[in-house]
Amino acid sequence: MLSVLSPNLQQFLNGLNRIQQQTQQAQLEVSSGLKMSQVSDAPDQVSTLLQARANLAGTQQILTNLTSTKAETDAGEQALQSAVTLFDQVQTLATEGAVSNATPATQATLAQQVGSVLQEIGGLAGTQVEGRYIFSGDSDQTPPYTIDLTQPNPVSAYQGSASTRVAQHPNGTTFPVALTAQTIFDSADPTTNVFQSIVAVQSALSANDNTALQTAINGLSKVGSYLNSQLAFYGTVQDKVAEATDYGSTLQTQLQTQISGIQDADLTQSILQLQQGQTQEQAALETEAQIPRKTLFDYLG
């Protein structure tokens, strides 16, 4: 036998169902902290949310990469600062050897000191960060040079390769972050070649050749300026890394705020809705229970 609900009862059940759904949604938001926990909660916002999450993940990865880049560029800048200081020592030692009363023994001692400086600069060329030779270009598992003072030419050939290393900016652009030891210390231009200029000073001192020594000294100023320009490159990169990091941190905050606005629940509002829903449901059930009911026996009586 088919039973048909009265219109009033059907209306009551529909209203009760809506109250229960709203209460369940509020309960879910309170327990999860999310107002959007599945696609059906806000289908029109899904695409925006997924894109924001992807952008956030990409930005966070770039910031992680920039941290490594900062470590590398800081080490490069410090190495070149030390190289500039050492090269200043070479100029001082060369000048001491060029004075008229410098004896062959004095020049020999100065030559040894210049050789020690050459070895130190060679060590700086082999600076490592996280197991990588940062001045060896893309062949960063190989030291760029070896220095052997027993050889006529104490500086080996360059063992690295060209550098294609770039850092990604959170705005989508890239910028170069590394120079090679070949570019810095072993320029193709003899007038800016750090290694050759030091070897020339050492050789002149060792041979007690004042003419050759004076020629070498005359070229040191230009080489020193060139070395400082390589140092300036790393200072510029440090500034770019700092600016990119600040930009990325701001962008990360903006994306986190956007995501939160889409998916996070307003807990104060959700708790209030939960309490109101529970109160409404209880009131509806109590009201329905108080409605008089008539049976067939009431009509027959």
Instruction: Give the pLDDT confidence score for residue 50 in this predicted structure.
Output: 86
Residue 197 is assigned to a structural domain of this protein: yes
Instruction: Give the pLDDT confidence score for residue 39 in this predicted structure.
Output: 47
Instruction: Give the pLDDT confidence score for residue 96 in this predicted structure.
Output: 96
Three-state SS letters, the chain: CCCCCCHHHHHHHHHHHHHHHHHHHHHHHHHHCECCCCHHHCHHHHHHHHHHHHHHHHHHHHHHHHHHHHHHHHHHHHHHHHHHHHHHHHHHHHHHHHCCCCCHHHHHHHHHHHHHHHHHHHHHHCCEECCEECCCCCCCCCCCCCECCCCCCCECCCCCCCCCCEEECCCCCEEECCCCHHHHHCCCCHHHCHHHHHHHHHHHHHCCCHHHHHHHHHHHHHHHHHHHHHHHHHHHHHHHHHHHHHHHHHHHHHHHHHHHHHHECCHHHHHHHHHHHHHHHHHHHHHHHHCCCCCHHHHHC
Residue 11 is assigned to a structural domain of this protein: no
Instruction: Give the pLDDT confidence score for residue 6 in this predicted structure.
Output: 58
66-121 pLDDT, tens digit each? 999 999 999 999 999 999 999 999 999 999 999 988 999 999 999 999 999 999 99
CATH classification at residue 195: 1.20.1330.10
What does the mean pLDDT of the chain come to? 85
Instruction: Give the pLDDT confidence score for residue 275 in this predicted structure.
Output: 55
CA 284 to the chain's CA centroid? 58
Residue 95 is assigned to a structural domain of this protein: yes
Per the structure, the complete domain to which residue 142 belongs is given by: 48-259
> What's the whole-model pTM score?
0.75
- Number of domains composing the chain: 1
Instruction: Give the pLDDT confidence score for residue 267 in this predicted structure.
Output: 47
Residue 239 is assigned to a structural domain of this protein: yes
Residue 294 is assigned to a structural domain of this protein: no
* CB within 8 Å of 140: residues ≥ 6 apart: 132, 133, 134, 160
User: Percentage of the chain with pLDDT > 90?
Assistant: 66
Residue 195 is assigned to a structural domain of this protein: yes
Task: Point out the residues of the chain with pLDDT beneath 50.
Answer: 1-2, 26, 29-31, 39, 266-267, 270, 296
Instruction: Give the pLDDT confidence score for residue 33 in this predicted structure.
Output: 53
